[in-house]
Amino acid sequence: MGFRILVIEDNEQNMYLMHFLLESKGHTVIEAMNGEDGINMAQEADPDIILLDIQLPGMDGYEIAQRIRSMPDLATIPIIAVTSYAMAGDREKAMAAGVNDYIEKPINPGTFLDQIGEYFPEKVT
Domains of the chain: 4-117 (3.40.50.2300)
Write out pLDDT tens, residues 83-113. Answer: 997 777 888 999 999 999 999 999 999 999 9
| Strand-pair partners of 29 | 5
Write out pLDDT tens, residues 5-16. Answer: 999 999 999 999
pLDDT at position 124, please? 41
User: Residues 54-66: what's their mean pLDDT?
Assistant: 95
d(CA 83, CA 105): 5
Write out pLDDT tens, residues 16-43. Answer: 999 999 999 999 999 999 999 999 999 9
In degrees, rounded to 5, the angle at the alpha carbon of residue 23 between the alpha carbons of residues 54 and 106 is 35
